[in-house]
Structures are given as C-alpha cells and as structure tokens.
Amino acid sequence: DGGITQSPKYLFRKEGQNVTLSCEQNLNHDAMYWYRQDPGQGLRLIYYSQIVNDFQKGDIAEGYSVSREKKESFPLTVTSAQKNPTAFYLCASSIDLGSVKEQFFGPGTRLTVL
Amino acid sequence: AQSVTQLGSHVSVSEGALVLLRCNYSSSVPPYLFWYVQYPNQGLQLLLKYTTGATLVKGINGFEAEFKKSETSFHLTKPSAHMSDAAEYFCAVSDYSDYKLSFGAGTTVTVRA
C-alpha cells in the first residue's frame, strides 16, 4: 500500500537536544511538507520541498532544519534553538505542483520536551 | 496570502441531527478548497475538495460542501450525524499560483447520543 510513514509516533526530548523526525513516502510525490499543529491553531507550515535537493522555509521555520536527499524522504530536525518544540508534527506530500494541490498526510509524531 | 476562518471552534450535535461547519476564505480569485478530518492522534484525511466545475461537492462519509463565490464560503454539511463523526475538521485553501495550503484553526465536533 502506498502512503506516508512517520516515525517515531511519540518522541521525548530533553531541553537542549536536537531531535530528528522521520518522514518517508512511497507515493512517488514530488512535493513534501512539514507542519506543526498546536491546539486551537490549525496547521502551520514549517518547511516544504518541491524537488530533491531543494527546500524552502515556511511560516515558522526558525529552530528547524530539513534535508531532501531522496525523493522519498524529508526528515525534520528540531534544534535546540526552537524555544517551544512540544507539538504534534505532521508530514505531507502532494503529487505535482502544477495540478490541484491535494496533500496526503502521515500519521504524525508527537514531540514532548521534558 | 490566503486566510481561512472557521466559525466556531467547537460544535456539539445530537446523533441524527444536521452537521454544519462554516468556512470562509479571503481571496480575490476562486481558489482550490478542501475539507480534512482528523481523529485523535492521527493525521489528516481528505473529506472533499473543490477545484472547478460543480459548486456542490460530495465527499466521503456522507459529507458535502458548497462553494459560494459571492459569499467566499465553503461550508461543510452532513444531514445526519453519526457517533463516528466525532473528530476535528479543518478547512484549507490554496490558489492557482501557490502550492501551499492555508488551514483554518479547526472545528471540533462532538456527537451526543
């Protein structure tokens, strides 16, 4: 079955540590996205990538970094510079930038800073 | 940039009653419009989408939405609520030139037996 996988489902981090969230898709989609979800705020875009080896900042990129070395993978690193990292993180992908931008979502990773 | 307003952060309905979730967007041209559903601790699942053509769009699980350009609205309805409809619902919009989605803050639906 095609889809998007995110791991781990739950992640605990001590203050001052960097952590990396995994996102893998086997849908052969070109574009991938990372969102942060906080209660009552909807989804906010962190980073997105249109193609391998290229990515752009979204609305709340500070304290985060990404890479896109493979079409299938778009890992997100939450750095120690992110002041309030506790949140639910969602990865998404879409098939083609020129068409309807329907995005498919992974199951999410819940990050808690201890 | 697009903005999306979902009126009402929480909606409570009785089982069998009408579900109505409101969504308004800001755009000078007709955008692409989406409704997603999210169950607790899960990702988002597409309910339905409007691109072009018929303004009344039917989706999964008995939901439908109507695009009204004059009102810049895309309200979601379901004639008869089921307990399994309890979830959070998000309206999202993108325009022709932008591959990013702008999401509303979400509406949580509870269904009373």
CB contact under 8 A, A108 and B42: yes
For residue B90, pLDDT over 90 is answered with yes
Integer Cα distance of A61 and A83 in angstroms: 12
pLDDT at position A96 is 67
Under 8 Å between Cβ of A13 and A112 = yes
For residue A31, pLDDT over 60 is answered with yes
User: Hey, is the C-beta of B34 within 8 angstroms of any chain A C-beta?
Assistant: yes
pLDDT at position A37 is 95
**A-contacting residues in B 45-74 (Cβ below 8 Å):** 45-46, 49, 51
pLDDT at position B97 is 66
CB contact under 8 A, A104 and B46: yes
CB contact under 8 A, A108 and B43: yes
Integer Cα distance of B5 and A38 in angstroms: 17
User: Hey, is the C-beta of B99 within 8 angstroms of any chain A C-beta?
Assistant: yes
For residue A9, pLDDT over 60 is answered with yes
Integer Cα distance of A60 and A76 in angstroms: 13
CB contact under 8 A, A101 and B101: yes
For residue B98, pLDDT over 70 is answered with no
Number of Cβ pairs < 8 A linking chain A and chain B: 55
User: Hey, is the C-beta of B42 within 8 angstroms of any chain A C-beta?
Assistant: yes
Residues above pLDDT 90, as percent of chain B: 73
Residues above pLDDT 70, as percent of chain A: 94
From the number of C-beta atoms within 10 Å of its C-beta (0-12, 13-18, 19+), residue B22 rates as middle
State pLDDT tens for residues B5-51: 999 999 999 999 999 999 999 876 767 899 999 998 899 999 999 98
CB contact under 8 A, A4 and B43: yes
In the predicted model, what is the mean pLDDT of chain B? Answer: 91
pLDDT at position A102 is 82
pLDDT at position A39 is 85
State pLDDT tens for residues A44-57: 999 999 889 999 99
